[in-house]
Structure 1
Amino acid sequence: MEADEYALMDAAEQAMWWYRAMHGHAAAAVADARPGGGALLDAGCGTGGFLARLGRAGCVGLEYNPAAARRAAEKSAAAVVAGSVNELPFGDASFAAITSLDVLCHAGAEPAALLAESLRVLRPGGVLVLNLPALPWLSSAHDARVFTVRRYTRASITAELRAAGFVDIRARYWNALLLPLMILQRKVLQAGAGAPSDVGAFPAWLDTLLFAATRLEAGLMRLGLQFPVGGSLIVTATRP
Protein backbone atom coordinates (compact mmCIF):
# COMPACT_ATOMS: atom_id res chain seq x y z
CA MET A 1 0.00 0.00 0.00
CA GLU A 2 0.95 3.64 -0.27
CA ALA A 3 2.49 5.29 2.79
CA ASP A 4 -0.62 7.41 3.39
CA GLU A 5 -2.83 4.31 3.49
CA TYR A 6 -0.51 2.72 6.06
CA ALA A 7 -0.83 5.92 8.09
CA LEU A 8 -4.63 5.80 7.87
CA MET A 9 -4.64 2.15 8.97
CA ASP A 10 -2.27 2.86 11.85
CA ALA A 11 -4.50 5.66 13.12
CA ALA A 12 -7.80 3.82 12.64
CA GLU A 13 -7.30 0.13 13.34
CA GLN A 14 -7.73 0.15 17.10
CA ALA A 15 -10.84 2.34 17.13
CA MET A 16 -12.67 2.13 13.78
CA TRP A 17 -15.71 -0.13 13.82
CA TRP A 18 -14.65 -2.24 10.81
CA TYR A 19 -11.22 -3.12 12.16
CA ARG A 20 -12.66 -3.96 15.57
CA ALA A 21 -15.24 -6.22 13.93
CA MET A 22 -12.68 -7.97 11.71
CA HIS A 23 -10.28 -8.47 14.61
CA GLY A 24 -13.11 -9.88 16.69
CA HIS A 25 -14.02 -12.42 14.00
CA ALA A 26 -10.37 -13.43 13.56
CA ALA A 27 -9.72 -13.77 17.30
CA ALA A 28 -12.87 -15.88 17.70
CA ALA A 29 -11.83 -18.09 14.78
CA VAL A 30 -8.42 -18.71 16.37
CA ALA A 31 -10.03 -19.50 19.74
CA ASP A 32 -12.60 -21.84 18.16
CA ALA A 33 -9.89 -23.70 16.26
CA ARG A 34 -8.05 -24.42 19.54
CA PRO A 35 -4.54 -24.48 18.02
CA GLY A 36 -2.96 -25.16 21.40
CA GLY A 37 -0.04 -23.42 22.99
CA GLY A 38 2.22 -23.14 19.97
CA ALA A 39 3.35 -19.94 18.27
CA LEU A 40 1.03 -17.85 16.10
CA LEU A 41 2.14 -15.95 13.00
CA ASP A 42 0.23 -12.91 11.75
CA ALA A 43 1.31 -12.92 8.10
CA GLY A 44 0.98 -9.47 6.58
CA CYS A 45 0.41 -7.81 9.95
CA GLY A 46 0.39 -4.22 8.65
CA THR A 47 0.87 -1.75 11.49
CA GLY A 48 0.13 -4.33 14.18
CA GLY A 49 -3.47 -3.79 15.20
CA PHE A 50 -4.41 -7.47 15.33
CA LEU A 51 -1.19 -8.44 17.09
CA ALA A 52 -2.01 -5.83 19.72
CA ARG A 53 -5.54 -7.24 19.99
CA LEU A 54 -4.18 -10.75 20.60
CA GLY A 55 -1.78 -9.48 23.26
CA ARG A 56 -0.36 -12.89 24.06
CA ALA A 57 3.05 -14.50 24.25
CA GLY A 58 4.22 -16.50 21.28
CA CYS A 59 2.82 -14.18 18.61
CA VAL A 60 5.04 -13.22 15.69
CA GLY A 61 4.30 -10.71 12.95
CA LEU A 62 5.53 -10.52 9.38
CA GLU A 63 5.15 -7.41 7.22
CA TYR A 64 6.64 -6.52 3.84
CA ASN A 65 6.93 -2.78 4.52
CA PRO A 66 9.85 -2.19 6.97
CA ALA A 67 8.39 1.02 8.40
CA ALA A 68 5.04 -0.69 9.02
CA ALA A 69 6.86 -3.65 10.58
CA ARG A 70 8.61 -1.31 13.02
CA ARG A 71 5.32 0.34 13.89
CA ALA A 72 3.68 -3.06 14.41
CA ALA A 73 6.43 -4.04 16.85
CA GLU A 74 5.98 -0.80 18.76
CA LYS A 75 2.21 -1.12 18.91
CA SER A 76 2.01 -4.78 19.86
CA ALA A 77 5.30 -5.49 21.70
CA ALA A 78 5.49 -8.66 19.57
CA ALA A 79 8.43 -9.83 17.48
CA VAL A 80 7.86 -8.55 13.93
CA VAL A 81 9.95 -9.56 10.93
CA ALA A 82 10.16 -7.65 7.64
CA GLY A 83 9.60 -10.11 4.80
CA SER A 84 7.26 -11.49 2.16
CA VAL A 85 4.19 -13.67 2.64
CA ASN A 86 5.20 -15.36 -0.62
CA GLU A 87 8.44 -16.69 0.89
CA LEU A 88 8.09 -16.97 4.65
CA PRO A 89 11.42 -16.70 6.48
CA PHE A 90 10.58 -19.48 8.94
CA GLY A 91 11.30 -23.18 9.22
CA ASP A 92 8.93 -26.01 8.45
CA ALA A 93 6.19 -26.70 11.03
CA SER A 94 7.07 -23.59 13.07
CA PHE A 95 3.55 -22.43 13.97
CA ALA A 96 0.36 -23.76 15.52
CA ALA A 97 -1.69 -21.07 13.79
CA ILE A 98 -1.37 -18.44 11.08
CA THR A 99 -3.64 -15.45 10.65
CA SER A 100 -3.58 -13.39 7.46
CA LEU A 101 -6.16 -10.63 7.32
CA ASP A 102 -6.96 -9.09 3.95
CA VAL A 103 -3.58 -10.16 2.53
CA LEU A 104 -4.31 -12.96 0.04
CA CYS A 105 -6.35 -10.40 -1.91
CA HIS A 106 -3.48 -7.91 -2.14
CA ALA A 107 -1.59 -7.06 -5.33
CA GLY A 108 1.69 -8.06 -3.69
CA ALA A 109 0.47 -11.51 -2.70
CA GLU A 110 0.88 -14.54 -4.93
CA PRO A 111 -2.01 -16.77 -3.79
CA ALA A 112 -0.46 -20.13 -4.68
CA ALA A 113 2.85 -19.21 -3.03
CA LEU A 114 1.22 -17.71 0.08
CA LEU A 115 -0.93 -20.79 0.65
CA ALA A 116 1.94 -23.22 -0.05
CA GLU A 117 4.20 -21.36 2.36
CA SER A 118 1.46 -21.26 5.01
CA LEU A 119 1.01 -25.01 4.70
CA ARG A 120 4.77 -25.52 5.01
CA VAL A 121 5.30 -23.48 8.18
CA LEU A 122 2.19 -24.79 9.95
CA ARG A 123 2.67 -27.88 12.09
CA PRO A 124 0.36 -30.86 11.34
CA GLY A 125 -3.06 -29.96 12.67
CA GLY A 126 -2.21 -26.26 12.58
CA VAL A 127 -4.84 -23.77 11.53
CA LEU A 128 -4.85 -20.98 8.94
CA VAL A 129 -7.29 -18.10 9.53
CA LEU A 130 -7.99 -15.72 6.66
CA ASN A 131 -10.12 -12.64 6.34
CA LEU A 132 -10.92 -11.69 2.76
CA PRO A 133 -12.95 -9.12 0.85
CA ALA A 134 -15.94 -10.82 -0.74
CA LEU A 135 -17.90 -10.59 -3.98
CA PRO A 136 -15.91 -9.72 -7.11
CA TRP A 137 -18.68 -7.44 -8.38
CA LEU A 138 -18.17 -5.23 -5.31
CA SER A 139 -14.73 -4.05 -6.49
CA SER A 140 -14.44 -0.28 -6.14
CA ALA A 141 -12.15 2.73 -5.79
CA HIS A 142 -11.54 1.63 -2.20
CA ASP A 143 -9.97 -1.59 -3.49
CA ALA A 144 -7.69 0.34 -5.83
CA ARG A 145 -6.54 2.58 -2.96
CA VAL A 146 -5.55 -0.38 -0.75
CA PHE A 147 -4.22 -2.51 -3.64
CA THR A 148 -6.94 -5.17 -3.41
CA VAL A 149 -6.95 -7.01 -6.73
CA ARG A 150 -8.98 -10.10 -5.77
CA ARG A 151 -12.34 -10.46 -4.06
CA TYR A 152 -13.59 -13.93 -3.16
CA THR A 153 -16.70 -16.03 -2.85
CA ARG A 154 -17.14 -18.87 -0.39
CA ALA A 155 -16.80 -21.35 -3.26
CA SER A 156 -13.68 -19.77 -4.77
CA ILE A 157 -11.63 -19.62 -1.56
CA THR A 158 -12.71 -23.13 -0.58
CA ALA A 159 -11.48 -24.42 -3.94
CA GLU A 160 -8.13 -22.59 -3.64
CA LEU A 161 -7.50 -23.90 -0.14
CA ARG A 162 -8.44 -27.45 -1.09
CA ALA A 163 -6.12 -27.32 -4.11
CA ALA A 164 -3.30 -26.10 -1.83
CA GLY A 165 -3.70 -29.14 0.42
CA PHE A 166 -5.77 -27.80 3.32
CA VAL A 167 -8.63 -29.73 4.91
CA ASP A 168 -11.54 -28.94 7.25
CA ILE A 169 -12.21 -25.69 5.37
CA ARG A 170 -14.90 -23.39 6.73
CA ALA A 171 -15.74 -20.11 5.00
CA ARG A 172 -18.44 -17.76 6.32
CA TYR A 173 -19.65 -14.42 5.03
CA TRP A 174 -19.85 -11.50 7.44
CA ASN A 175 -20.60 -7.77 7.14
CA ALA A 176 -23.91 -8.96 5.73
CA LEU A 177 -26.32 -6.70 7.62
CA LEU A 178 -24.43 -3.61 6.42
CA LEU A 179 -23.96 -4.85 2.85
CA PRO A 180 -26.68 -2.55 1.39
CA LEU A 181 -24.88 0.49 2.89
CA MET A 182 -21.57 -0.81 1.58
CA ILE A 183 -23.01 -1.09 -1.94
CA LEU A 184 -24.44 2.43 -1.70
CA GLN A 185 -21.12 3.84 -0.48
CA ARG A 186 -18.87 2.14 -3.00
CA LYS A 187 -21.07 1.94 -6.09
CA VAL A 188 -22.96 5.24 -5.82
CA LEU A 189 -21.58 7.80 -3.36
CA GLN A 190 -17.87 7.03 -3.92
CA ALA A 191 -18.02 5.45 -7.35
CA GLY A 192 -15.43 7.70 -9.01
CA ALA A 193 -11.96 6.36 -9.75
CA GLY A 194 -10.37 9.06 -7.57
CA ALA A 195 -12.51 8.37 -4.51
CA PRO A 196 -10.68 7.78 -1.20
CA SER A 197 -10.59 4.51 0.68
CA ASP A 198 -13.18 3.83 3.38
CA VAL A 199 -10.54 3.82 6.13
CA GLY A 200 -10.72 6.76 8.51
CA ALA A 201 -12.43 8.28 11.51
CA PHE A 202 -16.22 8.15 11.71
CA PRO A 203 -18.43 10.31 13.92
CA ALA A 204 -18.66 8.56 17.30
CA TRP A 205 -22.42 7.96 17.06
CA LEU A 206 -22.11 6.41 13.59
CA ASP A 207 -19.13 4.27 14.53
CA THR A 208 -21.07 2.98 17.54
CA LEU A 209 -24.10 2.07 15.41
CA LEU A 210 -22.06 0.33 12.74
CA PHE A 211 -20.08 -1.66 15.28
CA ALA A 212 -23.31 -2.65 17.07
CA ALA A 213 -24.61 -4.07 13.77
CA THR A 214 -21.47 -6.20 13.38
CA ARG A 215 -21.76 -7.44 16.98
CA LEU A 216 -25.38 -8.45 16.41
CA GLU A 217 -24.29 -10.26 13.28
CA ALA A 218 -21.43 -12.02 15.10
CA GLY A 219 -23.85 -13.19 17.78
CA LEU A 220 -26.16 -14.65 15.14
CA MET A 221 -23.22 -16.39 13.50
CA ARG A 222 -22.20 -17.95 16.81
CA LEU A 223 -25.73 -19.32 17.10
CA GLY A 224 -25.20 -21.09 13.78
CA LEU A 225 -26.68 -18.66 11.26
CA GLN A 226 -24.84 -18.66 7.93
CA PHE A 227 -25.38 -15.54 5.85
CA PRO A 228 -25.70 -16.29 2.12
CA VAL A 229 -23.68 -13.21 1.22
CA GLY A 230 -21.64 -10.45 2.86
CA GLY A 231 -18.93 -7.90 2.26
CA SER A 232 -16.19 -10.07 3.81
CA LEU A 233 -15.31 -13.70 4.47
CA ILE A 234 -13.77 -15.24 7.58
CA VAL A 235 -12.13 -18.55 6.71
CA THR A 236 -10.44 -21.35 8.66
CA ALA A 237 -8.51 -24.29 7.21
CA THR A 238 -6.29 -27.00 8.70
CA ARG A 239 -2.99 -28.50 7.67
CA PRO A 240 -3.47 -32.31 7.56
Structure 2
Amino acid sequence: MTTTTHPGSASLQQPDYWWYRARTQLLRTALEPFLGEPSWVLDVGSADGPSVSWMRRHGRRIALDVDPRGLASERGVCGSALALPFASEVFDVVAAFDVVEHCEPEDQAMAELARVLAPGGHLLLSVPAYQWAWTDHDVRAGHFRRYTQRRLLTAVERAGLEVRRSTYAFSAVFPFFVAERVQRRFSRSPASGDGGLTPVPAWLDWLLMRLSGLDRRMLKRFDLPFGSSIFLAAVKGKPGTGQMSSTAKPRMARRPPVLEVGK
Protein backbone atom coordinates (compact mmCIF):
# COMPACT_ATOMS: atom_id res chain seq x y z
CA MET A 1 0.00 0.00 0.00
CA THR A 2 1.44 3.36 -1.03
CA THR A 3 0.39 6.95 -0.68
CA THR A 4 1.68 10.22 -2.03
CA THR A 5 2.86 12.96 0.29
CA HIS A 6 1.37 16.33 -0.60
CA PRO A 7 0.51 19.56 1.25
CA GLY A 8 -3.22 18.86 1.52
CA SER A 9 -6.19 20.18 -0.38
CA ALA A 10 -5.81 23.64 -1.86
CA SER A 11 -9.32 24.34 -0.57
CA LEU A 12 -7.80 24.77 2.89
CA GLN A 13 -5.93 27.84 1.66
CA GLN A 14 -8.44 29.11 -0.90
CA PRO A 15 -11.95 27.86 -0.07
CA ASP A 16 -13.49 30.75 -2.06
CA TYR A 17 -11.66 29.86 -5.29
CA TRP A 18 -14.14 29.82 -8.19
CA TRP A 19 -13.71 26.09 -8.88
CA TYR A 20 -14.70 25.07 -5.35
CA ARG A 21 -17.71 27.39 -5.38
CA ALA A 22 -18.83 26.07 -8.77
CA ARG A 23 -18.23 22.44 -7.80
CA THR A 24 -20.43 22.86 -4.72
CA GLN A 25 -23.34 23.91 -6.94
CA LEU A 26 -22.70 21.26 -9.60
CA LEU A 27 -22.37 18.41 -7.10
CA ARG A 28 -25.60 19.40 -5.42
CA THR A 29 -27.46 19.60 -8.72
CA ALA A 30 -26.20 16.25 -10.01
CA LEU A 31 -26.05 14.13 -6.86
CA GLU A 32 -28.41 15.45 -4.19
CA PRO A 33 -31.34 13.41 -5.58
CA PHE A 34 -29.44 10.26 -4.51
CA LEU A 35 -29.03 11.28 -0.86
CA GLY A 36 -32.51 10.29 0.26
CA GLU A 37 -33.04 10.48 4.03
CA PRO A 38 -29.88 8.92 5.49
CA SER A 39 -29.23 8.30 9.16
CA TRP A 40 -25.44 8.30 8.81
CA VAL A 41 -23.28 9.95 6.14
CA LEU A 42 -19.54 9.44 5.74
CA ASP A 43 -17.67 12.30 4.09
CA VAL A 44 -14.27 10.98 2.97
CA GLY A 45 -11.80 13.73 2.16
CA SER A 46 -13.59 16.38 4.21
CA ALA A 47 -10.82 18.95 3.74
CA ASP A 48 -12.98 20.00 0.79
CA GLY A 49 -15.63 21.11 3.27
CA PRO A 50 -17.00 23.96 1.12
CA SER A 51 -17.99 21.46 -1.55
CA VAL A 52 -20.12 19.34 0.82
CA SER A 53 -21.96 22.11 2.67
CA TRP A 54 -25.18 21.09 0.87
CA MET A 55 -25.00 17.63 2.49
CA ARG A 56 -25.00 18.81 6.09
CA ARG A 57 -28.76 18.86 6.52
CA HIS A 58 -28.99 15.22 5.43
CA GLY A 59 -28.50 12.84 8.37
CA ARG A 60 -25.63 12.72 10.84
CA ARG A 61 -22.27 13.29 9.20
CA ILE A 62 -18.88 11.83 10.07
CA ALA A 63 -15.91 13.47 8.37
CA LEU A 64 -12.68 11.63 7.58
CA ASP A 65 -9.47 13.06 6.13
CA VAL A 66 -5.76 12.29 6.17
CA ASP A 67 -5.15 16.00 6.87
CA PRO A 68 -6.35 16.97 10.38
CA ARG A 69 -6.67 20.59 9.27
CA GLY A 70 -9.75 19.62 7.30
CA LEU A 71 -11.52 18.17 10.33
CA ALA A 72 -13.60 21.00 11.76
CA SER A 73 -16.49 18.74 12.77
CA GLU A 74 -16.93 17.22 16.23
CA ARG A 75 -17.33 13.89 14.44
CA GLY A 76 -14.00 14.22 12.63
CA VAL A 77 -11.71 11.22 12.19
CA CYS A 78 -8.15 11.38 10.88
CA GLY A 79 -7.69 8.36 8.63
CA SER A 80 -7.17 6.97 5.15
CA ALA A 81 -9.64 5.80 2.51
CA LEU A 82 -7.38 2.78 2.08
CA ALA A 83 -8.23 1.51 5.58
CA LEU A 84 -11.46 3.09 6.84
CA PRO A 85 -11.64 2.75 10.65
CA PHE A 86 -15.31 1.72 10.70
CA ALA A 87 -17.31 -1.48 10.86
CA SER A 88 -18.87 -2.81 7.66
CA GLU A 89 -22.27 -1.71 6.30
CA VAL A 90 -22.89 1.18 8.71
CA PHE A 91 -23.32 4.23 6.44
CA ASP A 92 -26.34 5.07 4.31
CA VAL A 93 -24.31 7.47 2.14
CA VAL A 94 -20.56 7.55 1.50
CA ALA A 95 -19.24 10.60 -0.34
CA ALA A 96 -15.70 10.86 -1.70
CA PHE A 97 -15.27 13.98 -3.80
CA ASP A 98 -11.91 14.14 -5.59
CA VAL A 99 -10.45 11.45 -3.33
CA VAL A 100 -9.89 8.15 -5.15
CA GLU A 101 -7.41 9.67 -7.62
CA HIS A 102 -5.16 10.16 -4.56
CA CYS A 103 -5.39 6.48 -3.56
CA GLU A 104 -3.15 3.62 -4.61
CA PRO A 105 -4.11 0.85 -5.02
CA GLU A 106 -7.36 2.06 -6.50
CA ASP A 107 -9.20 -1.25 -5.97
CA GLN A 108 -8.44 -1.17 -2.25
CA ALA A 109 -9.94 2.30 -1.85
CA MET A 110 -13.05 1.34 -3.82
CA ALA A 111 -13.45 -1.86 -1.80
CA GLU A 112 -13.24 0.09 1.47
CA LEU A 113 -15.83 2.65 0.35
CA ALA A 114 -18.17 -0.18 -0.65
CA ARG A 115 -17.48 -2.17 2.54
CA VAL A 116 -18.73 0.51 4.95
CA LEU A 117 -21.81 1.26 2.82
CA ALA A 118 -25.09 -0.29 4.02
CA PRO A 119 -27.14 -2.37 1.55
CA GLY A 120 -29.32 0.04 -0.40
CA GLY A 121 -26.98 2.93 0.41
CA HIS A 122 -25.41 5.26 -2.12
CA LEU A 123 -21.81 6.03 -3.00
CA LEU A 124 -21.25 9.54 -4.38
CA LEU A 125 -17.99 10.28 -6.20
CA SER A 126 -16.21 12.94 -8.19
CA VAL A 127 -12.85 12.56 -9.94
CA PRO A 128 -10.71 14.58 -12.38
CA ALA A 129 -11.14 13.68 -16.05
CA TYR A 130 -8.75 12.67 -18.86
CA GLN A 131 -5.22 11.36 -18.45
CA TRP A 132 -4.12 13.52 -21.40
CA ALA A 133 -4.77 16.54 -19.14
CA TRP A 134 -2.06 15.43 -16.69
CA THR A 135 0.28 18.29 -15.71
CA ASP A 136 2.42 19.53 -12.83
CA HIS A 137 -0.83 20.38 -11.03
CA ASP A 138 -1.64 16.67 -10.70
CA VAL A 139 1.84 15.91 -9.42
CA ARG A 140 1.63 18.70 -6.86
CA ALA A 141 -1.84 17.59 -5.77
CA GLY A 142 -0.70 14.01 -5.20
CA HIS A 143 -2.77 12.37 -7.94
CA PHE A 144 -2.04 8.87 -9.17
CA ARG A 145 -4.37 9.07 -12.17
CA ARG A 146 -7.11 10.93 -13.98
CA TYR A 147 -10.21 9.19 -15.29
CA THR A 148 -12.44 8.58 -18.25
CA GLN A 149 -16.09 7.84 -17.57
CA ARG A 150 -15.59 4.21 -18.64
CA ARG A 151 -12.61 3.71 -16.31
CA LEU A 152 -14.53 5.08 -13.32
CA LEU A 153 -17.60 2.94 -14.10
CA THR A 154 -15.40 -0.14 -14.34
CA ALA A 155 -13.74 0.57 -10.99
CA VAL A 156 -17.07 1.13 -9.23
CA GLU A 157 -18.73 -1.94 -10.75
CA ARG A 158 -15.69 -4.04 -9.86
CA ALA A 159 -16.35 -3.06 -6.22
CA GLY A 160 -19.81 -4.62 -6.53
CA LEU A 161 -21.87 -1.44 -6.87
CA GLU A 162 -24.56 -0.56 -9.40
CA VAL A 163 -24.10 2.82 -11.12
CA ARG A 164 -27.20 5.00 -11.09
CA ARG A 165 -25.76 8.16 -12.65
CA SER A 166 -22.46 9.05 -14.31
CA THR A 167 -21.81 12.38 -15.99
CA TYR A 168 -19.02 14.73 -16.90
CA ALA A 169 -19.10 18.23 -15.41
CA PHE A 170 -17.51 21.63 -16.04
CA SER A 171 -18.42 21.29 -19.71
CA ALA A 172 -19.17 24.96 -20.40
CA VAL A 173 -15.74 26.04 -19.09
CA PHE A 174 -13.95 23.18 -20.85
CA PRO A 175 -12.22 25.40 -23.49
CA PHE A 176 -10.63 27.38 -20.65
CA PHE A 177 -9.55 24.14 -18.97
CA VAL A 178 -7.90 22.86 -22.16
CA ALA A 179 -6.12 26.18 -22.73
CA GLU A 180 -4.84 26.23 -19.15
CA ARG A 181 -3.59 22.65 -19.41
CA VAL A 182 -1.78 23.37 -22.68
CA GLN A 183 -0.20 26.46 -21.14
CA ARG A 184 0.99 24.41 -18.16
CA ARG A 185 2.36 21.69 -20.42
CA PHE A 186 4.56 24.04 -22.45
CA SER A 187 5.39 26.69 -19.87
CA ARG A 188 8.83 26.59 -18.25
CA SER A 189 7.50 28.20 -15.07
CA PRO A 190 4.50 26.95 -13.04
CA ALA A 191 1.23 28.66 -13.96
CA SER A 192 -0.21 28.32 -10.48
CA GLY A 193 -0.09 30.46 -7.39
CA ASP A 194 -0.33 29.35 -3.75
CA GLY A 195 -1.77 25.86 -3.35
CA GLY A 196 -1.23 25.04 -7.03
CA LEU A 197 -4.29 26.99 -8.22
CA THR A 198 -4.11 29.23 -11.27
CA PRO A 199 -4.73 32.88 -10.27
CA VAL A 200 -8.01 34.19 -11.70
CA PRO A 201 -8.88 37.91 -12.05
CA ALA A 202 -12.30 39.10 -10.90
CA TRP A 203 -13.75 39.38 -14.42
CA LEU A 204 -12.72 35.82 -15.27
CA ASP A 205 -14.06 34.53 -11.96
CA TRP A 206 -17.43 36.07 -12.85
CA LEU A 207 -17.37 34.56 -16.35
CA LEU A 208 -16.40 31.08 -15.16
CA MET A 209 -19.16 31.07 -12.55
CA ARG A 210 -21.72 32.19 -15.13
CA LEU A 211 -20.63 29.43 -17.52
CA SER A 212 -20.79 26.88 -14.70
CA GLY A 213 -24.38 28.00 -14.23
CA LEU A 214 -25.09 26.62 -17.71
CA ASP A 215 -23.83 23.25 -16.52
CA ARG A 216 -26.22 23.37 -13.56
CA ARG A 217 -29.19 23.93 -15.84
CA MET A 218 -28.15 21.12 -18.17
CA LEU A 219 -27.40 18.67 -15.34
CA LYS A 220 -30.96 19.03 -14.13
CA ARG A 221 -32.11 17.52 -17.43
CA PHE A 222 -29.38 15.24 -18.78
CA ASP A 223 -25.83 13.94 -18.40
CA LEU A 224 -22.97 15.87 -20.01
CA PRO A 225 -20.74 14.17 -22.60
CA PHE A 226 -17.43 15.85 -21.69
CA GLY A 227 -15.85 18.04 -19.04
CA SER A 228 -12.90 18.30 -16.68
CA SER A 229 -14.60 16.31 -13.87
CA ILE A 230 -16.75 13.20 -13.61
CA PHE A 231 -19.58 12.81 -11.07
CA LEU A 232 -21.04 9.41 -10.19
CA ALA A 233 -23.75 7.94 -7.97
CA ALA A 234 -23.91 4.20 -7.30
CA VAL A 235 -26.00 1.94 -5.04
CA LYS A 236 -25.02 -1.11 -3.02
CA GLY A 237 -27.20 -4.12 -3.73
CA LYS A 238 -29.06 -6.37 -1.32
CA PRO A 239 -26.97 -8.90 0.62
CA GLY A 240 -26.20 -12.06 -1.32
CA THR A 241 -27.38 -10.75 -4.68
CA GLY A 242 -25.03 -7.96 -5.66
CA GLN A 243 -28.04 -6.25 -7.22
CA MET A 244 -30.60 -3.69 -6.14
CA SER A 245 -34.24 -4.32 -7.03
CA SER A 246 -35.93 -1.35 -8.65
CA THR A 247 -38.81 -1.75 -6.16
CA ALA A 248 -36.76 -2.48 -3.04
CA LYS A 249 -36.57 0.12 -0.31
CA PRO A 250 -33.03 0.88 0.92
CA ARG A 251 -32.25 -0.46 4.41
CA MET A 252 -30.89 2.42 6.44
CA ALA A 253 -28.20 1.89 9.06
CA ARG A 254 -29.87 3.07 12.27
CA ARG A 255 -27.07 2.16 14.65
CA PRO A 256 -24.11 4.55 14.95
CA PRO A 257 -20.97 3.60 13.00
CA VAL A 258 -18.41 1.73 15.09
CA LEU A 259 -14.94 3.20 15.15
CA GLU A 260 -12.45 0.36 14.92
CA VAL A 261 -9.30 1.35 16.77
CA GLY A 262 -6.10 0.26 15.08
CA LYS A 263 -7.79 -0.43 11.75
TM value normalised by structure 2: 0.79
Partner of 1:85: 81
For the residue of structure 1 that corresponds to 2:13, the secondary structure is helix
Q: Deviations 1:188-226 (Å, cap 9, x if unpaired)? A: 2563475254526532332121111111111112122x3
Question: Structure 1 CA distance, aligned partners of 2:22 and 2:165?
Answer: 19
Partner of 2:65: 63
Partner of 2:218: 220
In the TM superposition, 1:60-209 aligns within 5 A as: 60-65=62-67, 69=68, 71-74=69-72, 77-106=73-102, 108-188=103-183, 191-192=186-187, 195-197=190-192, 199=197, 202-209=200-207
Q: Which amino acid aligns with 2:76?
A: V
Question: Structure 2 CA distance, aligned partners of 1:188 and 1:17?
Answer: 19
Structure number with higher relative contact order (C-alpha < 8 Å, ≥ 6 residues apart): 2
* Aligned residues with identical type, % of pairs: 27
The answer as to whether partners of 1:141 and 1:196 remain within 8 angstroms in 2 is: no
Partner of 1:10: 12
How far is 1:78 from its partner?
4.6
Count of residue pairs the alignment pairs up? 229
The answer as to whether partners of 1:142 and 1:186 remain within 8 angstroms in 2 is: no
How far is 1:156 from its partner?
1.0
In the TM superposition, 1:19-58 aligns within 5 A as: 19-46=20-47, 48-56=49-57, 58=60
Structure number with greater Rg is: 2
Q: Name stretches of at least 5 consecutive residues in structure 1 with no aligned partner.
A: none
Question: Structure 2 CA distance, aligned partners of 1:89 and 1:12?
Answer: 29
Q: Flag the structure with higher helix content.
A: 1
**72 and 195 in structure 1: CA distance in 2 versus 1, 3 angstrom threshold:** same
Q: Name stretches of at least 5 consecutive residues in structure 2 with no aligned partner.
A: 238-263
The answer as to whether partners of 2:11 and 2:20 remain within 8 angstroms in 1 is: no
The answer as to whether partners of 1:51 and 1:59 remain within 8 angstroms in 2 is: no
